[in-house]
Structure 1
Amino acid sequence: MALWHLLLNWASTLLLLLLSLLFVAFLGFCAYIKYKHMKYDHIPGPPRDSFFFGHSPTFFKIMEGDGIVYEKFLEWSETYGPVYRINLLHYVILGVSCPDATKEILMSSKYTKDEFIANRLSNLFGQRFLGNGLVTARDHEQWYKQRRIMDPAFSSLYLRGLMGTFNERAEKLMEKLSDEADNKGNVKMLPLVNCVTLDVIAKAAFGVDLDLLNTSSPFPKAIETCLKGMVYSIRDAFFQFNLKNRPFIKEVREACRLLRRTGAQWIHDRKTAIQNGDDVPKDILTQIIKTAGKEENTTKEDEEFMLDNFVAFFIAGQETTANLIAFCIMSLGRHPDILERVKKEVDDVIGMKMDLSYDDLGKLTYLTQVLKETLRIYPTAPGTSRDIIKDMVINGIRIPGGCIALFSSYASGRMDKFFKDPLTFDPERFHPDAPKPYYCYYPFALGPRACLGKNFAQMEAKVVMAKLLQRFDFTLIPGQTFDLVDTGSLRPKSGVLCSIRHRKHSQ
């Protein structure tokens, strides 16, 4: 009995000690938050929703209402100026729309990807996602080694060789649309272009035929699940601790494993084929493997990085390009005069040719303007961020080191201080003779960490849009919404419902 009382006393003492330690830790954390407030509260910004959570409740409310968080960034940029403060627990994030600061930070390699976002993208709910690849690597030497391996596969010379794949996969979409036009049907364009862009990535990068327009695949669902998981992981620090979210978290982990397992198999098969001297496709994967083979001190970790970059390219290359094409179709459908002008250019440049050449793409200057204007209003990758380690000054405001700088191309692209009548769709803003936007337009980011697949995406979008404009007339179905959905990237909520008809070309 005495022993039992002794054990109870020990347990009570330990519990009291643990609770005391937790209370002291909580008070210490609160003191740290207060210190952060005092350090950065001279910077303008919206009132915090709470001392502890900062502006988190505002973001929760937006997400629960299927809103666009970037609209809030636009509102705050216009209200509080070119640099404003956001508080999330002990994190301080600065929304930056000052062009000079944008230039200084994004164009320099000394400002690394911010640690918070990098960690959240590296692993999704404990499952490796983008790992430590090009998107998330914070160490410059580690990033630069990967970039050195990847760059040759995305050179303009190498991309020219992918025109056959772009044409072939786009032609599959044209066949599908032709069937719909024969049946005088209505088409939801976003799912179709999603299939095409994923087909292009699989074929051009990895030599795999998915043919998603005619066969089913788990990849589109897995990509969508990963993107949703990414959004919740970044914007809701407590999402994984809510028991009701466990089924979804399990889905996210399984989707990550599917993509990484598939990538590992494709990479292994290609390496084996190369080692055996087999004929292999002259695609991006072959180029990357051969370039990596020339590197000194290649490690097992480098192979894992290759897999990280496979997942990043597979997701980002498919999702953002599909959304760009869908937004472009939506914008042209809403502006018949611009649609007719871009059709005329396509007719003049490619006529009735089935396959476009690389040189043809360079002559489609007005289509290029249309795509650039689409990305200004609807940037499919609407923001990027960097760590600010050392003190600096932005627009005359002292910025202490130890915070995150957030750059929203969505907010900058819709501000009338940078673009007159910003919600008006006007491709003339990007006429070759028009003044270039000064560090307020960056749909592919800027500087050394700019999107590696920028030219790939633009070429693919041009090929698909040129063939569509060459072959079909399309009009938007009345009554659909032109609202956006935030899935990490931005996509049209309606899916872009169109009536498709064959074009009647004059002889």
Structure 2
Amino acid sequence: MIPTDISLPVHVPLVDEPMGILASLQASRRNILGIIPRLATTEPIVSGRTGKRWHMVMEPTAIRRMLLEEVDNYPKSVITKALLRPAIGESLFIAEGAHWRWQRRTAAPVFSHRNVMNLAPIMSAAADRSCDRITAAGPRAVDMAADMVRTTFDVIADVTFSGDGGFAADAVHQGIDAYIAQAGKISLFDILGFPDWVPRPGRVMSGDAVAQMKRVADEAIEARRARSQTEPDAVPDLLDLLMDGEDPDTGRRMTTAELRDNLLTFIVAGHETTALTLGWSLYLCAFDQSVQDRARAEAQSVLQGRAATGDDVARLPFIRQIIDEALRLYPPAGVVSRTAMQHDTLCGTEVRPGDTVMIPIYALHRNSRLWEDPDSFKPERFADRKAIDRYAYLPFGDGPRICIGASFALQEAVIILATLLSRFRFTRVPGRDPDPVMILTLRPEGGVWLEAEPMPQP
């Protein structure tokens, strides 16, 4: 699946011919991006029927309408909810309407700038530990995708549970991974539009993993409630902040089940997406050594041999541009799917109630109407963010449902990438470039295998 054009970073070959139901099913179970037509990189909208009517929208004005102006008319799609509800319930990621709004109001203060900055030392320490592991590996190649998963999981476990050894965080992570592996692939029933109550075999098989994962999380929440009684002066972490949060309008607090579902959402979203961004960023820096050299010069001049901190982030603009460009080329959520509730018109196309309306972010970010030389790696295109249409670039979504942890993720990514690039030169391993594959998130299949050469420090 990896293109042979060595002048461009790896990308997914999109399809030229319409696919039927079975072909779509086979393609989507292998790689969801494989169902995106090439037209989506040149046109404002593409429509078709695969069991049910669907539209792919790549026009910023229409996307703004979906995500901001008529957001209640475009809730998350039935397929998205069916895939995720068994694992994360009616958490912020899935909930709609009033139930979503009160959870969002309650959780928003947890991710305030002050709280995110307070968590920066944990990110710096995790970056240092990653450097230690790379050094210990010696001259052999390292799968940096796997190491970034470990690094960002260290961060989310620490900021969520303050290193509480009583919580089996790995069990939760493994449980969610098992669920995604078994149940996350689109079912033929989903494509045909069968209702949620019709059992999907993969999701039935993964039920035990989900039940165990939820038990572990419930036990952690109850243990924390008990600890808060005996250690009232402990420094609050993410779980404490979430437990203490209340809806400013009503005073309502989350129940144990609501806390658990949101906690599981934050654990997964709080580390895997950032790990993916870092893995792809390192691959791209190894792909273009001139970009890596410029980034290293910036990082070394600011860091002077130490790990990056929260205060350094604003002084590392080119590192941030690399991350922005990696999120453009390899957005963790490569496709966003909605279900239309009412009649509407998008880009002159009729949208009917029940239609699936997708924003193929992978194609949006590579649409030649919006981006010059869209398949190339050019971090400098983000030097002037005001020149980029807000709805042409959506790594974190937008509108009221924009990712609540975006500032947390960007701070973490800049801290870790700057620290790594300041200390090592990364080079690709011939024949081992990653393959961009999306099931639930856009992962570098096969890993990001890089050789790391220690660099002299200023």
| TM-score category of the 2 structures, normalised to the smaller one | 0.7 to 0.9
The one-letter code of the counterpart of 1:151 is A
Answer with 1 or 2: which has the greater Rg.
1
Match of 1:75 among 38, 48, 51: 38
Partner of 2:115: 158
Distance in 2 between residues matched to 1:431 and 1:69, nearest whole Å:
31
Deviations 1:399-432 (A, max 9, x none): 3333232111101111111111111100111003
Distance in 1 between residues matched to 2:204 and 2:343, nearest whole Å:
41
- The DSSP-based 3-state class of the residue aligned with 1:87 is strand
Question: How far apart are 1:122 and its partner, in Å?
Answer: 4.5
Counterpart contact for 1:77–1:84, Cα < 8 Å: yes
Match of 1:285 among 230, 239, 248: 239
Partner of 2:153: 198
CA 432–276 in structure 1, closer or farther in 2 if over 3 Å, else same = same
CA 47–377 in structure 1, closer or farther in 2 if over 3 Å, else same = closer
Deviations 1:63-119 (A, max 9, x none): 45x3x332432424247x322324343x32221111111011112342342351353
Match of 1:273 among 217, 227, 233: 227
Does 2:53 correspond to 1:92? yes
CA 78–168 in structure 1, closer or farther in 2 if over 3 Å, else same = closer
Partner of 2:373: 421
Does 2:209 correspond to 1:255? yes
Counterpart contact for 1:384–1:408, Cα < 8 Å: yes
CA 154–438 in structure 1, closer or farther in 2 if over 3 Å, else same = closer
Could you list the runs of 5+ residues in structure 1 that have no partner in the other structure? 1-44, 50-54
Deviations 1:23-69 (A, max 9, x none): xxxxxxxxxxxxxxxxxxxxxx99875xxxxx4322222145x3x33
Partner of 1:135: 93
- The DSSP-based 3-state class of the residue aligned with 1:232 is coil
Match of 1:207 among 162, 181, 184: 162
Match of 2:72 among 110, 131, 137: 110
- The DSSP-based 3-state class of the residue aligned with 1:406 is strand
Deviations 1:286-306 (A, max 9, x none): 11111138774647x743222
Count of aligned pairs between the two proteins? 438
CA 209–472 in structure 1, closer or farther in 2 if over 3 Å, else same = farther
- The DSSP-based 3-state class of the residue aligned with 1:393 is strand
Counterpart contact for 1:122–1:132, Cα < 8 Å: no
TM-score (norm 1): 0.79
Q: How many percent of aligned residue pairs carry the same amino acid?
A: 24
- The DSSP-based 3-state class of the residue aligned with 1:237 is helix
- The DSSP-based 3-state class of the residue aligned with 1:348 is helix
The one-letter code of the counterpart of 2:140 is G
Counterpart contact for 1:95–1:407, Cα < 8 Å: yes
Partner of 2:9: none
Partner of 2:3: none
Does 2:358 correspond to 1:406? yes
CA 396–296 in structure 1, closer or farther in 2 if over 3 Å, else same = closer
Partner of 1:322: 275
Q: Considering only aligned residues, what root-mean-square deviation do their CA atoms show, in Å?
A: 3.0
Partner of 2:27: 62
CA 184–481 in structure 1, closer or farther in 2 if over 3 Å, else same = closer
Distance in 2 between residues matched to 1:71 and 1:419, nearest whole Å:
21
Match of 1:222 among 160, 163, 175: 175
Partner of 1:483: 435
Partner of 2:301: 348
Q: After superposition, where does 1:434-473 map in structure 2 within 5 Å?
A: 435-473=387-425
Counterpart contact for 1:273–1:280, Cα < 8 Å: no
TM-score (norm 2): 0.87
Structure number with greater CO (CA < 8 Å, separation at least 6) is: 2
Q: After superposition, where does 1:166-205 map in structure 2 within 5 Å?
A: 166-180=123-137, 183-205=138-160
Counterpart contact for 2:284–2:326, Cα < 8 Å: yes
CA 302–141 in structure 1, closer or farther in 2 if over 3 Å, else same = farther
- The DSSP-based 3-state class of the residue aligned with 2:392 is coil
Distance in 2 between residues matched to 1:344 and 1:185, nearest whole Å:
25
Question: How far apart are 1:143 and its partner, in Å?
Answer: 0.6
More divergent stretch after superposition (457-466 vs 368-377) = 457-466
Could you list the runs of 5+ residues in structure 2 that have no partner in the other structure? 1-14, 195-199
Counterpart contact for 1:222–1:258, Cα < 8 Å: yes
